[in-house]
Structure 1
Amino acid sequence: MRTLLTDVIISIVADKLKKDNSFGLSIINLPDIDFQRFLSEMPHNKLLELYFLGYDEQSKRILQQLPRAEEYKCFYSVEEAEESRNLGSEDIFRIHFIKNTELEKLSSLRWYDKISMEQVYKNSCKLALDKLPQTNNAIRNFLQVLGRKDIRALLNFERVLDYLEALIAANEMQLPIVVNSELYRLGLLVDDGFAVGSPTRDQLIKKIKDNHSIVRRISNLEQKERQNISSFLAKNPDNSVVRLILEYYRTPSIELLKQLQLSEVEKCLKAAVPTSGTKPKTPKKSGSNPTVASSQLIFDGKDELIDEFIRQAEKDIDDRPENNKSCIKSIEIDGVKIDIPVQASTERLVEMTVSNME
Structure 2
Amino acid sequence: MDYHTHSHRGSAIYLDGLRLCPIRTFHYRDGRAGEENSKRKHSILFVADVPHSHLNHLGCFMSLTIAVFIQGIVVLALAPLVTGLVRWFKARLQGRHGAAPWLVYFTLLTTLKKENVISESRSWVFRCVPFVVLGIALFLSLTLPIVFPSGGIPQVDLFVLAGVLALSSVFLVLGGLDAATAFGGMGASREMTIAALIEPTTLITFATFASVAGSSSLQDIFGNGITVISHPALLLSFVALVLIVLAENARYPVDNPATHLELTMVHEAMVLEYSGPYLAMLEYASSIKLTVFLLILGNLVGAGLLTTVVIGSFALALFESTIAKMRFFRMQEYMSIAFFLALAGLILIFII
Structure number with higher helix proportion: 2
TM over 0.5: no
Larger RCO (alpha carbons 8 Å, 6+ apart): 2
TM-score normalised to structure 1 length:
0.20
TM-score normalised to structure 2 length:
0.21
